[in-house]
Structure 1
C-alpha cells in the first residue's frame, strides 16, 4: 500500500485515458480536462488506498491467529501493482525463505491450508463488511453469515464480542452446546 510513485502512475493513467472508456469506477475521463481528470484520479487513489488498508488489516488479523507475525501492523510498499486507482490491492509476505524453519512451514501442506484459509477469511470478511456498491454482496449485506476461522487464543466470548452478536446466538447458529472450540474450526457468524 503506497502513494509513493502514485504521481508517476497517475501520469501513466492520464496519458492512457484516451484508450480507456472505464478508467475509474465506470466514470469515463475521455471528456474531462487534464486538471479535473487528475483530481478525480487522485481522489480515487486515496479511496482505494483506504480500502486496501482496511482489507490488509483484516487479513493481518487472521494471520496473527496462525502464530507470530514479523510486523504487527500493515506496512506500505511502492510496488506498481499496489497503485491501481480503482482496485484495492494487498501484498502478503508469508515467510522468509532464507529461514530454513519458515521455508519448512511453507512446504507443509497443513500450514499451506491454514494460511490459505486465513487469507481467504480476511478477504471474505473485508468484502462482507465493505461490499462494493452494486454487487451481490451489497444487496445481501448482513443477510449472509460471515465465516470466522478459530485461531490461537480465540474463545466464543471474544468472537461474539468481535462480531457484536450474543454468545447464545453464536452457539445456537453453530450448534455448539458448550464452550469447546478448536483451532482451524470454522464458525458462521449470523448477520444482524
Structure 2
C-alpha cells in the first residue's frame, strides 16, 4: 500500500514539473506583459517658441531621458510601456521637431522614443495625473532658446497669433437647463462636452479655447457674448441640449442669429456712443456732426454683422455635415432665432443643440461619455475645416495658408506658357513643381503653382 502511494506521489510530481516546463517554454516563445502600460493616444502641436508632444497612457508613466548631438535628438525611455504604438500618422508640421520614431529599448518591456530636432532646445518633461476628464499624460516640451521675434502690427488688435474660440457650455449654477426623464441636468451635459471640445482646440497648434464657464456656475446669457468680445474671439460656440413637452422629438440642430435680432442689436449698439466712437477710432475725432458719425458707425456695424452672420451660417453647415454622421439631425439646415448669446457683431457665433434630453434614448446617449466625445470631435473637425479654409488675418494659420503652394485647374485653351505668364513664374518652374516631363497639360488637371 505504501509503495502504491509513493508511486502516485511521484507521478503527480512529474506531471507538475512537466506542466511547469511547458509553461516556461510557452512564455519564452510568446512573452506576455502582464499589466503593461500602453500609449493610447499622442498629439503634437507647436506655437510661438514651443513644440509639444502629449502622450496619453492607461497608467502613470515612469520615464528617463537624455540628449544626443550631431544631429540633435531627444531620447525618452518609458519603463514598462508597450512599444507597439505607431507615430506614423502623427502630423508634424513646423516647430523644433522633424520626426518622432521608435528605437531599440533597454528592455523588451520598455519603449524608447527618439525625437529628432531641428536644433538645440530647452527641455521640459512632466507627467499629469489622470482626472475625471483626462487619462494619465506625459507632456514633452521643447522650447527654442533663441526664438525669432514676431513682428506685430501695433495698429491692429493685440493678438497672440492664435485662433481664439470661446466655448460656451449652456446654463449652469442655479440654472440647470432642461431635465431628462431620469433626472439628467442639461448643464452637466453641456459642461462635459464643452471641456472635451476645449481640449481638442487647445491640443491643436495655433488654436486656443476660452470657456465661459468650466465649473457649475451661473452666467447670464447676455454676459456670455461679452466674453467673446473681450477676448477678441474669432468664434463663439454655445452648447445646449434641446427639450420638448413630449418624449418623441429627437435629433441635433445648429442655430445662428436671426436677421430681426441682428437689426435690433445693431440699433442698441448704435445708442452706445462710446462703442461707435471706439469702432470708428481716430475718424470719430474729426467727425463733428453726430448724425454723420452715427451714419458711418451704422455702416460699419452693418457690414460687421452681415459678415459675422454669413460666417456663422457657413460654419453651421459644416457642423451639420459632421454631426449627421454621429447622431440623428432634427434640422438638416441651419436655423435662425433671436438668441442673446449670439449677439456679438464682431464674432461669428453658433449655438449647437446636441440632441433632445427629453427623449429617453437621447438622454441615455448623452449620458454616455463616448457619445459626448464624438459630438465634441464633430464640432472640432468642423471648426478646424472652417478656419483652414478662411483663417483670420494675423494668425499662424493665415501664415501657413499663405505659404502653401497655389493650385490651378487647367481649363480649355490654357497651356503651360500661358499659366507661367499669368502667375509670374517660368515654364521650367511649373514643370519641376508638378514633375512634368513634357509641356502638355490636359483639361481638368490640377497644377501646383510655385512661389515666384
| Structure 1 contact 17–29 (Cα < 8 Å) conserved | no
Shift of 1:12: 2.1
Deviations 1:99-138 (A, max 9, x none): 1111110000110111111111111111111111222111
Name stretches of at least 5 consecutive residues in structure 2 with no aligned partner: 1-255, 288-292, 405-448
CA distance in 1, matches of 2:299, 2:277: 17
- Residue of structure 1 equivalent to 2:352: 92
| Structure 2 contact 323–375 (Cα < 8 Å) conserved | yes
CA distance in 1, matches of 2:356, 2:283: 44
More strand by share: 2
Query: Which of 78, 82, 87 pairs up with 2:338?
Result: 78
CA distance in 1, matches of 2:270, 2:282: 9
Q: TM-score, normalised by structure 1?
A: 0.67
Aligned pairs for 1:63-142 (under 5 A) are 63-141=323-401
Q: CA RMSD in A?
A: 2.3
Deviations 1:118-162 (A, max 9, x none): 111111111111111222111112768xxxxxxxxxxxxxxxxxx
User: Are residue 3 (structure 1) and residue 259 (structure 2) matched?
Assistant: yes
Count of aligned residue pairs for this structure pair: 142
Higher RCO structure, 1 or 2 (CA under 8 Å, sep 6+): 1
Name stretches of at least 5 consecutive residues in structure 1 with no aligned partner: 145-191
Query: Which of 320, 328, 335 pairs up with 1:60?
Result: 320
Shift of 1:93: 0.3
Change in 2 beyond 3 A, CA 1:129/1:17? farther
| Structure 2 contact 276–297 (Cα < 8 Å) conserved | no
Aligned pairs for 1:11-90 (under 5 A) are 11-19=267-275, 23=279, 28=281, 31=284, 33-90=293-350
Deviations 1:46-87 (A, max 9, x none): 111000011111111110111321111111111122232110
Q: TM-score, normalised by structure 2?
A: 0.30
Tell me which structure has the larger Cα radius of gyration.
Answer: 2
Stretch moving more, 8-17 or 109-118: 8-17
Aligned pairs for 1:153-164 (under 5 A) are none
CA distance in 2, matches of 1:18, 1:89: 24
| Structure 2 contact 391–397 (Cα < 8 Å) conserved | yes
